[in-house]
Amino acid sequence: MYHRIKVSGIYKITHKVTGEYYVGQSREILERWSSHYNDLKMNKHSSPKFQELFNRSSMTDWTFEIIKVISKTEIRAKTGLKGKTLEACIRKILLAEEKKCMNELSITYSLNKINKHFQ
């Protein structure tokens, strides 16, 4: 039987040669990585800089890592929230954590869209 693993949190995709990276957040990181890859393969990624570097690289030039896991179960236990209210809370936490990670990593070598979540 096939079980889909759902991991929420902050992830980082790094180009090993240049050190440039993309930081993002998702309620389903593994699915989001697949989405990035499909967009890149179709030459339709939202970050032109990321797309350009991908087009000049091989897949072995990239690493994928989870920087921080956000547990829906833990947030539900701490807050008592359910349903749409819980999902909105998780989304808010993910965005705040993504911004925090980008600030800690410095966006100097970032492949993210210009001013992503920094307005």
Residue 24 has pLDDT above 50, yes or no: yes
Supply the pLDDT for residue 107: 66
Percentage of residues in the chain with pLDDT exceeding 70?
A: 87
CB-side exposure of 54: number of CA atoms within 13 Å? Answer: 23
The DSSP bridge partners found for residue 68 are: 10
Supply the pLDDT for residue 116: 52
Determine how β-strand 21-26 pairs with β-strand 9-15.
antiparallel
Supply the pLDDT for residue 114: 56
Task: Please state whether the predicted TM-score (pTM) of the whole model is above 0.75.
Answer: yes
Indicate the pLDDT class of residue 2, thresholds 50, 70 and 90: low
Please report the domains of the chain, with CATH numbers, ordered by start residue: 9-109 (3.40.1440.10)
Mean pLDDT of 32-61: 92
